[in-house]
Amino acid sequence: QVQLQQSGAELTKPGSSVKISCKASGYTFTSYDISWIKQRPGQALEWIGAINPGSGGTGYNEKFKGKATLTVDKSSSTAFMQLSSLTPEDTAVYYCARRIIGFDYWGQGVMVTVSS
Amino acid sequence: DIQMTQSPSLLSASVGDRVTLSCKASQNIYKYLNWYQQKLGEAPKLLIYYTNSLQTGIPSRFSGSGSGTDYTLTISSLQPEDVATYFCQQYNSWPFTFGSGTKLEIK
């Protein structure tokens, strides 16, 4: 069955960077885009950007350009998102999700906490 | 960016009720609209895609409709397991955007 398994929670300091992962299984990894989505507590979902695992091509929400960098490792069917220059406003749960038309499979989410 | 506005933000209804949730886009999104259900502590789940297509495995009490800028999600007979927050999402243009959600409670 299709699964997206994300890495564990992160506690980081302001100004630092963090890289979280999303390992796909149960389907052909290179066939579908992977998107990353941010959810702050009690707030709406924000689409950060997407990557085509086959080509490595990316597209970003302007709001997250310079903040998020999306990459993949095809050999391990894993997508990565690096967040840089972290501030308390980056504290959130970050999801990866496979997209066909809708986001049909989601990872369990990674809680990133930015605190001094 | 296309703004998605959901109403109401909180809805309380009884088991068995017919429930309607609304989602309005700031411009025509040509039915490129999905609905998600998010239960407490879980990732969102895709319910409806392209306005009215039921995702595999989703109960038939869920349905969607709409066109242009106005869309609705209907639950024909509310069940206790439907307690959740519901989000709409447009994919007519990048960046994809979500509504702020409707929290559905049992009265």
- Residues from chain B that touch A45, judged by Cβ atoms under 8 A, are 44, 87, 89, 98
Task: Give strand ranges (E) for B1-107.
Answer: 4-7, 10-13, 19-25, 33-38, 45-49, 53-54, 62-67, 70-75, 84-90, 97-98, 102-106
What's the confidence (pLDDT) of residue A67?
A: 98
Q: Is the peptide bond before B8 cis (omega within 30 degrees of 0)?
A: yes
The verdict on a CB contact (< 8 Å) between A45 and B87 is yes
The residue with tokens 């997508």 is A79
Cα separation, A77 vs A23, in Å, equals: 6
What's the confidence (pLDDT) of residue B36?
A: 98
**For the segment B2-42, what is each residue's pLDDT rounded down to a tens digit?**
999 999 999 999 999 999 999 999 999 999 999 999 999 99
Which residues neighbour B87 within 8 Å (Cβ) at sequence distance 6 or greater?
A44, A45, B6, B35, B36, B38, B44, B98, B99, B100, B101
What's the confidence (pLDDT) of residue A47?
A: 98
**For the segment A24-62, what is each residue's pLDDT rounded down to a tens digit?**
999 999 999 999 999 998 888 999 999 999 999 999 999
B positions 53-82 inside 8 Å of A (CB): 53, 55
